[in-house]
């Protein structure tokens, strides 16, 4: 018989203590946190004190106008969010099974694989498991990573940057992401032979916001050939605005090549015959190693890897596909 000696069993950890940690982190005040959880302030204070006594550390600094997590508190809050999210997912899976559904999976992706990889992968899942519910979010890598850490997503197709904590993550690279310049169909530069950056310097450009990796590399691209970066720019990461703006102007947009090909295939834009030496970092499939994937998530992960093999020529460890 297994001997369960986990500290939280010995300490009789309560779910309401986890809820209180999260509420205190969000409200910064024990009175408001108690109201959110529909309990009295003395009861909330006792729950917190009991937990601090068990851990033998202070989880919050008591300030004149509220409370602030200590380093110990930050650690417990982070794991409390994960534990509560996991319990919610367990309930959702049980309810789905009771209703005759296979379950659900939440996937996050950056734009380019969201256009090229996810549609055929999701189609493969739905072909084999029509009742499996798939939720897809298209965001930047930083936003997606935060949602994965908080248990709001099961897996990502995105980039992994130096600032991300990789201790509990599995990253399986897919491909690099080249960049293309796009314009409206019929743009004058489309007819320029041997088009170079100098030919396009005076055009208006629609570029990613300052601070993004692509914006930095876009400006370096001009500097490396002895040119000042364009000053006539519009900053945005919104593709709908970009494509609409291109259609009614002679501006040039900078987007991932897969995105450019998608819009060009639908006649919305044309790709300038000019190689851009800047590119985005590689992206890949990211999952958590400290959390078991649900059966539905395993189905989605296998479909992603199967599809990535045909789309990008990716190769995976056979054991990582199951």
Dump pLDDT digits (tens) for 200-248.
988 999 999 988 888 888 999 999 989 999 999 999 989 999 999 999 9
122 contacts: CB under 8 Å, gap ≥ 6: 134, 136, 300, 303
| In the block, residue with structure tokens 């040119």 | 227
- Other CB atoms within a 10 A radius of the CB of residue 232 amount to 10
Q: Does domain 179-280 have CATH number 3.40.50.300?
A: no
- At 228, give phi and psi (nearest 5°): -75, 140
Where do the CATH 1.10.10.10 domains begin and end in the chain? 7-96
Q: Does domain 100-175+281-312 have CATH number 3.40.50.300?
A: no
What does the pLDDT look like over 34-79, one tens digit per residue? 999 999 999 999 999 999 998 999 999 988 888 999 999 999 999 8
Where do the CATH 3.40.190.10 domains begin and end in the chain? 100-175+281-312, 179-280
Does pTM top 0.85 for this prediction? no
What is the C-alpha separation between 128 and 200, in angstroms, rounded? 48
What is the C-alpha separation between 109 and 70, in angstroms, rounded? 33
What is the C-alpha separation between 292 and 155, in angstroms, rounded? 11
The radius of gyration of the chain from alpha carbons, rounded to an integer in Å, stands at: 25
Query: Nearest-CA neighbor of 284 among 262, 304, 302?
Result: 304
Q: Which option is the CATH number for 7-96: 3.40.920.10, 1.10.10.10, 3.20.20.210, 3.10.520.10?
A: 1.10.10.10
Q: Count helices and strands (H / E) in the chain.
A: 14, 11
């Amino acid at each position: 018989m297994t001997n369960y000696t986990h500290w939280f069993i010995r300490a009789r950890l309560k779910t309401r203590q986890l809820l209180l940690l999260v509420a205190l982190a969000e409200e910064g005040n024990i009175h408001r946190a108690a109201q959110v959880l529909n309990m009295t302030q003395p009861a909330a204070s006792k729950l917190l004190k009991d937990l601090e006594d068990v851990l033998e550390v202070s989880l919050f600094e008591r300030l004149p106008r509220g409370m602030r997590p200590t380093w110990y508190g930050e650690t417990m809050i982070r794991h409390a969010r994960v534990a509560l999210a996991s319990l919610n997912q367990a309930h959702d899976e049980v309810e789905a099974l009771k209703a005759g559904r296979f379950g659900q999976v939440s996937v996050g992706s950056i734009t380019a694989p969201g256009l090229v990889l996810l549609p055929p992968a999701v189609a493969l899942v739905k072909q084999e498991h029509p009742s499996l519910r798939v939720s897809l979010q298209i965001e930047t890598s930083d936003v997606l990573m935060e949602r994965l850490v908080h248990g709001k997503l099961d897996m990502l197709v995105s980039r992994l940057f130096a600032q991300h904590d990789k201790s509990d993550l599995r990253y399986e690279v897919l491909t690099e992401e080249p960049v293309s310049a796009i314009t409206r169909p019929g743009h004058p530069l489309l007819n320029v032979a041997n088009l170079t950056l100098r030919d396009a310097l005076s055009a208006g450009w629609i570029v990613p916001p300052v601070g993004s990796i692509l914006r930095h590399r876009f400006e370096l691209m001009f500097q490396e050939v002895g040119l000042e970066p364009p000053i006539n720019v519009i900053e945005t990461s919104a593709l709908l605005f970009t494509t609409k703006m291109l259609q009614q102007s002679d501006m040039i947009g900078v987007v991932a090549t897969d995105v450019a090909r998608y819009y060009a295939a639908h006649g919305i834009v044309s790709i300038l015959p000019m190689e851009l030496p800047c590119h985005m970092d590689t992206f890949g499939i990211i999952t958590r190693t400290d959390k078991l994937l649900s059966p539905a998530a395993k189905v989605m992960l296998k479909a992603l890897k199967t599809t990535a093999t045909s789309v990008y020529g990716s190769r995976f460890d056979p054991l990582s596909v199951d």
